[in-house]
Amino acid sequence: MNYVQRVLEELKKKNPCEPEFHQAAEEILLSLAPVVERHPEYEKAALLERFTEPERAVLFRVPWVDDRGAVHVNKGYRVQFNSAIGPYKGGLRFHPSVNLSIIKFLGLEQILKNSLTGLPIGGGKGGSDFDPKGKSEGEIMRFCQSFMTELFRHIGQDTDVPAGDIGVGGREIGYLFGQYKRLRGEHVGVLTGRGLSYGGSLVRTEATGYGLVYMVEEAMNCRGETLSGKKVIVSGSGNVALYACEKAQALGATVIAMYDSDGYVLDMGGIDLAVMKQIKEVERGRIKEYAARVKGAKYFEGCRGIWSVPCDVALPCATQNEIGGESARRLVAGGVKYVGEGANMPTDPEGIEVFRRAGVVFLPAKAANAGGVATSALEMAQSSGRMYWTFEEVDAKLREIMVGIYHNMDGAAKEYGVAGDYVAGANIAGFLKVAEAMTAQGIV
């Protein structure tokens, strides 16, 4: 059995009942086979074993009281996966599905994603199985305060800098930051995604969605195409989805369908983003409302049908494993040529294989959605320098970073004999820098 297979087998044995973590580790490790072959010293230093074992995982209790006086207890997590190239950095997810397996898969991916940005940030991830849906403002605030009352002792501007993810947006970051400041008595850049009035960066809100589209555009430009006039499907209707839609439309594409976890809307004239933002960002309502307000738009119960809508570009921006083999086959049948992953691991291994065989240009999450964390790192730089860059400055840096990541993974794929395989290219390019830093720092 070769080194990669042995590490994978042991990882599955040592971490039972963690299917998402296994899935992410398998994808990454298999594509690193040519790298460890070229670098036999990695096996001697047990580099892959150390790379796939978090430096630290903190699990904690989050008790809080609802508006009726009932007491609830949720689980809290922070996995500090790898600090070889910088302080741990990665979002917090509040969603009922959150468990250790999901946080570890996200944390492992985050190491490579952060490395790909070229910025000095390590990998971490955290969250809770708390469901923010249907909770009052007071309940959200009390939950965030309780969560931070434990988390604050494990994070810091030079050690671990969390940000948002599913269920954690600007509002939650505000409450988390307020509680951190109260407990520590310091106003520092310990969280990113902060409001503009208290240290946030322009473009952070838009960054993941914009960055995704910048990368898709670069992939198209390299093939003599542009987004102009293309039909695009965006799944989800949260932070990443809304701003992917905004940038795609600004570049001349027509976004014809979006969803939330109840169902999808189809609007062949192009999604009216002002209406969608009003429903999703302001009213925190359901996507069904969109069809009631926009003439010609149709609503369909359930999400999966969205992948049967013919399109040129698909941007899955909701959650993991949204696209399985069947959905991928429908997309291919509908003429899709580019898939850019805005969400983390939205395509399962069978889906990726379907795209690969069909020659679809597939831009994997850890590269395509790195714009959010890259802009978070720019927020950290502005915080420590006590300065602010303009929207145009940050946006230009974001675009440059996304174009750089594209060429970095494209180059790595070519160098390791898998040209066009961006799953492998992104894993290899991200890993090489982390491996070099880990090697330089000895057995730690």
Binding residues vs ligand NDP (CB under 6 A): 164-167, 169, 208, 236-241, 260-262, 303, 317-319, 342-344, 369, 372
| Separation of alpha carbons 98 and 115, rounded Å | 25
Q: Which of 125, 231, 247, 337 is catalytic?
A: 125
Using the Cα atoms of residue 117, residue 169, residue 344 and residue 127 in order, give the sign of their dihedral: positive
Nearer to ligand NDP, 16 or 134 (CB): 134
Burial degree of 157 (CB within 10 A; 0-12, 13-18, 19+): middle
Nearer to ligand NDP, 219 or 241 (CB): 241
Nearer to ligand NDP, 279 or 438 (CB): 279
Nearer to ligand NDP, 121 or 343 (CB): 343
Q: Residue 96 in 3-state DSSP?
A: coil
Residue 102 beta carbon to ligand NDP: minimum distance, rounded to whole angstroms: 10
Nearer to ligand NDP, 4 or 89 (CB): 89
DSSP 328-394: HHHHHHTT--EEE--SSS-B-HHHHHHHHHHT-EEE-HHHHTTHHHHHHHHHHHHHHTT----HHHH
Dig out the tokens for 57 from the structure.
């995982």
In residues, how long is the chain?
444
Using the Cα atoms of residue 284, residue 289, residue 290 and residue 293 in order, give the sign of their dihedral: negative
Nearer to ligand NDP, 218 or 260 (CB): 260
**CB atoms closer than 10 angstroms to residue 132:** 20
Residue 352 beta carbon to ligand NDP: minimum distance, rounded to whole angstroms: 16
Exposure class string for 198-234: b at 16+ Cβ within 10 A, else e = ebbbbbbbbbbbbbbbbbbbbbbeeeebebeebbbbb
| Separation of alpha carbons 118 and 115, rounded Å | 6
Nearer to ligand NDP, 128 or 344 (CB): 344
| Separation of alpha carbons 297 and 293, rounded Å | 8
Residue 359 beta carbon to ligand NDP: minimum distance, rounded to whole angstroms: 26
Nearer to ligand NDP, 7 or 320 (CB): 320
Residue 17 beta carbon to ligand NDP: minimum distance, rounded to whole angstroms: 20
| Separation of alpha carbons 98 and 77, rounded Å | 9
Backbone phi, psi, residue 33, to 5° = -50, -50
3-state helix, strand, coil in the chain (%, to 5): 50, 15, 30
Residue 301 beta carbon to ligand NDP: minimum distance, rounded to whole angstroms: 12
Cβ partners under 8 Å of residue 68, min gap 6: none
Cβ partners under 8 Å of residue 203, min gap 6: 210, 375, 391, 394, 395, 398
Residue 27 beta carbon to ligand NDP: minimum distance, rounded to whole angstroms: 15
Q: Interior CA angle at 166 toward 396 and 329, to 5°?
A: 85
75 tagged catalytic: no
Residue 343 beta carbon to ligand NDP: minimum distance, rounded to whole angstroms: 3
Dig out the tokens for 441 from the structure.
């720092």
Burial degree of 282 (CB within 10 A; 0-12, 13-18, 19+): exposed
Q: Which DSSP symbol is given to 45? A: T
Residue 52 beta carbon to ligand NDP: minimum distance, rounded to whole angstroms: 20
- The residues annotated with a catalytic role in the active site are 125
